[in-house]
């Protein structure tokens, strides 16, 4: 049955080449756009190296405060507070503190060069899964002794040393000379925890204010749980410790009249929702908690809105094709084909069409993603097609096919056989 439907579908589609071409163009274009969006989402959400343990990672990016006279504000996570109060939460395998990326000037042969610097500790290299091309990470001893050592990316190595190895070379950044101890592959700008060009021990910070002042923010705390099952308990423990932080003892907080400090642990998807939607879809509440449902709901609504026009276009094309085939349908009806069989046949035809369009769309999306990666709009981002993206794209094209095939199929099944045989129908 299905085989004969498929054979019929190919026949019909080849008969009217213009219509088929136009439909294919619309379908493949729609799926190019949707697949590119899915691939971008995949790029920010999926566990890609070096973030291979996303499912048991939590992070704290910001703290919000309110004062006695009603002012509110937020700042990037405090190193001191996390270091002092959040160590040793049960269920946490490792905890790392890393600075948010800072752009710094480096000078090579007199030409200014901007490097993105991240200050961190030794556990950072154990939470993340970096592939080292040369050397290795800096160690706990390096961090303790404030050694001027650095891990750099492949791109930095190219910029500073051309194709020569970088190990043991020195780079001057911010008036300090760092010895290169390791070289890693490039990291995408869109992954906030691993992204950087240049990693150094946090103790090399010249002012050292982050270790003295709670108000000196600028850090992110990353937590790796032993297992995903521990996450709720870790969040609860974090929240209860946060409430017990003696914030009134801090001189700056006392001077500013801060009486409440809140922070939340975020799963990676929550961070993405906060960064990309934030207040736009009210994906973040007053206290900074992320409402994931709203974010994905808004995304789905946007995708549906975008698909509306291509769907209508395809529906219109299909309706006129149905009417064109009135006599064929009339014959089948006259010989006793049920409406259901006809609807089934038409939907199969349409799904075949959308899947062919979908495959063309994948080729297009592949090209667009390659161009996006090549254009370096987003530094070091490698957008790729993969199994997840392919499956989501396929699901989308089937959804699209059914959506645009259903109404014309219904119209077809309702044709009066007598009218249909005469070839006239409204």
Partner 1 sequence: MTRHLLKLIWNRRRTNALLMAEVLLSFLALFGIATLAVYYTDNYRRPLGFDYRDVWVIEYNPKGYDPAFPNRNVHIYWRLFHALEELPRVEAVATHSWGVAPYWVPGGEFRDEVDGRRYVADADRVSDGYLEVAGLELTRGRWFSSEDDVVPPNDNVIVLNERLARHLFGDEDPLGRRLPWPPRGDGSRRPGELRVVGVVREYRPRGEFSAPGNHFFARHRVDDPESNGSSLLVRVSPGTPAAYQERLVARLFREAPEWTFRVKPLAEWRAANHRLRLTPLVALGLVVGFLLLMVVLGLVGVLWQNVTQRTQELGLRRAKGATAARIQRQILGEVAIMTTVALGVGTLLVVQLPLLDWLGSVRAGVFAASLVLSAATIYVLTGLCGLYPARLATRIQPAEALHHE
- Which residues, in sequence order, are CB contacts of 3 under 8 Å at separation 6+? none
Q: With contact defined as beta carbons under 8 Å apart, do 426 and 320 qualify?
A: no
Name which of 392, 393, 339 is nearest 364 in CA terms: 393
Give min distance, CB of 422 to partner 1, in A.
10
Residue closer to partner 1 (CB basis): 69 or 249: 69
Q: How far is residue 181's CA from residue 166's CA, in Å, rounded to a whole number? A: 8
- Written as six digits, the tokens of 147 are 């050694």
Residue closer to partner 1 (CB basis): 54 or 319: 319
Residue closer to partner 1 (CB basis): 119 or 157: 119
Give min distance, CB of 351 to partner 1, in A.
19
Q: How far is residue 380's CA from residue 382's CA, in Å, rounded to a whole number? A: 6
**Longest Cα–Cα distance in the chain:** 92
Give min distance, CB of 105 to partner 1, in A.
5
Give min distance, CB of 3 to partner 1, in A.
29
Give min distance, CB of 150 to partner 1, in A.
15
Give min distance, CB of 321 to partner 1, in A.
7
Residue closer to partner 1 (CB basis): 145 or 316: 316
Q: With contact defined as beta carbons under 8 Å apart, do 409 and 338 qualify?
A: no
Give min distance, CB of 378 to partner 1, in A.
10
Residue closer to partner 1 (CB basis): 140 or 172: 172
- Which residues, in sequence order, are CB contacts of 143 under 8 Å at separation 6+? 121, 122, 201, 202, 203
Omega before residue 50 within 30° of 0, cis: yes
Residue closer to partner 1 (CB basis): 195 or 219: 219
Region class of 423: left (phi > 0), else alpha (psi between -120 and 50), else beta? left
Q: With contact defined as beta carbons under 8 Å apart, do 222 and 57 qualify?
A: yes
The interaxial angle of helices 17-45 and 387-413, nearest 10 deg, is 140
Q: How far is CA 360 from CA 34, 149, 364, in A?
A: 13, 49, 6
Residue closer to partner 1 (CB basis): 212 or 226: 212
Residue closer to partner 1 (CB basis): 66 or 392: 66
Q: With contact defined as beta carbons under 8 Å apart, do 97 and 122 qualify?
A: no
Q: With contact defined as beta carbons under 8 Å apart, do 79 and 86 qualify?
A: no
Cβ neighbours of 330 (radius 10 Å): 20
Give min distance, CB of 172 to partner 1, in A.
10
Residue closer to partner 1 (CB basis): 134 or 174: 174
Residue closer to partner 1 (CB basis): 290 or 315: 315
What is the contact surface with partner 1 in residues (CB under 8 A)?
A: 18-19, 22, 25-26, 29-30, 33, 67, 69, 71, 102-105, 107, 110-112, 114, 174-175, 205-207, 209-210, 212-213, 215-216, 218, 251-252, 308-310, 312-317, 319-321, 323-324, 377, 411, 424, 426
Q: How far is residue 186's CA from residue 99's CA, in Å, rounded to a whole number? A: 18
Give min distance, CB of 133 to partner 1, in A.
28
Q: With contact defined as beta carbons under 8 Å apart, do 224 and 56 qualify?
A: yes
Give min distance, CB of 41 to partner 1, in A.
15
- Which residues, in sequence order, are CB contacts of 297 under 8 Å at separation 6+? 281
């Amino acid at each position: 049955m299905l085989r004969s439907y498929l054979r019929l579908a190919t026949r019909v589609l080849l008969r009217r080449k213009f219509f088929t071409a136009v439909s294919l163009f619309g379908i493949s274009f729609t799926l190019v756009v949707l697949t590119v969006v899915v691939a971008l989402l995949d790029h920010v959400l999926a566990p890609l190296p070096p973030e291979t343990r996303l499912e048991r990672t939590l992070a704290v990016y910001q703290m919000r405060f309110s004062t006695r006279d009603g002012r509110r504000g937020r700042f990037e996570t405090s190193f001191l507070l996390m270091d002092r109060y959040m160590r040793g939460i049960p269920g946490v395998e490792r905890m790392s503190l890393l600075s948010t990326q800072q752009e710094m000037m480096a000078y090579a042969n007199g030409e200014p060069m901007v490097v993105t610097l991240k200050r961190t500790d030794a556990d950072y290299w154990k939470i993340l899964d970096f592939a080292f091309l040369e050397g290795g990470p800096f160690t706990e001893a390096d961090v303790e002794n404030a050694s001027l050592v650095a891990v750099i990316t492949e791109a930095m190595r190219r910029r500073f040393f051309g194709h020569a190895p970088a190990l043991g070379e020195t780079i001057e950044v911010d008036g300090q000379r760092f010895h290169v101890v390791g070289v890693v592959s490039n990291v995408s700008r869109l992954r906030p925890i691993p992204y950087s060009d240049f990693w150094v021990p946090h103790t090399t910070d010249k002012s050292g204010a982050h270790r003295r002042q709670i108000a000196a923010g600028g850090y992110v705390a990353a937590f790796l749980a032993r297992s995903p099952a521990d996450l709720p308990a870790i969040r609860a423990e974090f929240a209860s410790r946060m409430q017990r932080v003696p914030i009134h003892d801090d001189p700056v907080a006392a001077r500013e009249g801060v009486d409440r400090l809140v922070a939340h642990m975020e799963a990676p998807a929550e961070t993405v929702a906060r960064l990309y939607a934030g207040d736009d879809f009210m994906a973040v509440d007053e206290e900074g908690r992320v409402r994931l449902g709203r974010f994905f709901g808004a995304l789905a609504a946007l995708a549906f809105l975008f698909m509306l026009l291509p769907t209508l276009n395809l529906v219109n094309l299909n309706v006129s094709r149905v009417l064109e085939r009135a006599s064929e349908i009339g014959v089948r009806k006259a010989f006793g084909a049920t409406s259901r069989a006809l609807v089934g046949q038409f939907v199969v035809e349409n799904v075949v069409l959308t899947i062919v369009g979908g495959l063309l769309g994948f080729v297009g999306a592949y090209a667009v993603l390659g161009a996006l990666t090549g254009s370096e709009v987003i530094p070091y981002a490698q957008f790729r097609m993969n199994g997840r993206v392919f499956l989501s794209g396929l699901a989308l094209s089937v959804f699209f096919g059914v959506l645009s095939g259903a109404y014309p199929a219904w119209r077809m099944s309702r044709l009066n056989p007598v009218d249909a045989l005469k070839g006239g129908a409204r």
